Structure 1
């Protein structure tokens, strides 16, 4: 028991390594008072993404832009923009036998800061949908 406290104090900083992804922020009730759900989703612009495809996209995006990724100090506006998930479009398609192809593509309009086109950003993934593993990455 005498050595339990020092061992605990040594392990305590390691707990910081096991962080969970951030939880989504909910708006305060005062802000949402007038927000209503429609009887049905509008057909214009509606997209249905199957659960398998959604999970493959999430796996690829979590690898490409991890939630705990920190920007370097002095990051440029372009680096800041490219660190946000909403700056990308995603294309996904099923392959043969439990394979999903996922392409993460920068949205040219999202980071329009007046420079040359962004060519060396984005990635292609091959996802195993049985074991939920990344089989290949091409950047």
Structure 2
């Protein structure tokens, strides 16, 4: 192949890559979903106390906080949308605040994180039992090892 043939081939492949980039770029270049914030006017009016109130205050170790966040981002991602025709109970179970979180240390740097529907969260006839999940989180490499549903 002559020099001109290589140039044509290079241009064609380059154009093909540029055309394909928007198609695959959705997953590569999308921004992560960020939590909602109050409007600036409302945030400016909010007053923090000098110290956290003693009543109800609790300390969450960093490994527990990060393991819980990692599991929650998989269990109920911020961009999770209900399916069409979802019942009120199903809509309730799409919400993160419908779940209590239980954590326990496991062997060799593993943290167990369990999500259990709050009894008073949804207006269902009986207890919701099939929406629970337990995650095994590797706290050394910060990854999900396994999920039990």
TM over 0.5: yes
Which residue of structure 1 aligns with residue 133 of structure 2? Answer: 123
SS at match of 1:2: helix
Which residue of structure 2 aligns with residue 11 of structure 1? Answer: 21
TM-score by length of 1: 0.86
- Range 83-92 or range 4-13, more displaced: 4-13
In structure 2, distance between residues paired with 1:33 and 1:77: 35
SS at match of 2:11: coil
Runs of 4+ in structure 1 off by over 3 angstroms are: 67-70
Name which one, 1 or 2, has greater alpha-carbon Rg.
2
Q: Quick one: which of 15, 33, 54 aligns to 1:43?
A: 54
SS at match of 1:136: strand
Segments of structure 2 that go 5 or more residues without pairing to the other structure are 1-9
CA contact (8 A) 2:137 2:144 kept: yes
CA contact (8 A) 1:56 1:132 kept: yes
How many residues align? The count is 138
Segments of structure 1 that go 5 or more residues without pairing to the other structure are none
TM-score by length of 2: 0.81
Structure with greater helix share of residues: 2
In structure 1, distance between residues paired with 2:56 and 2:25: 43
Which residue of structure 2 aligns with residue 66 of structure 1? Answer: 77
Q: Work out whether 1:102 is the aligned partner of 2:102.
A: no
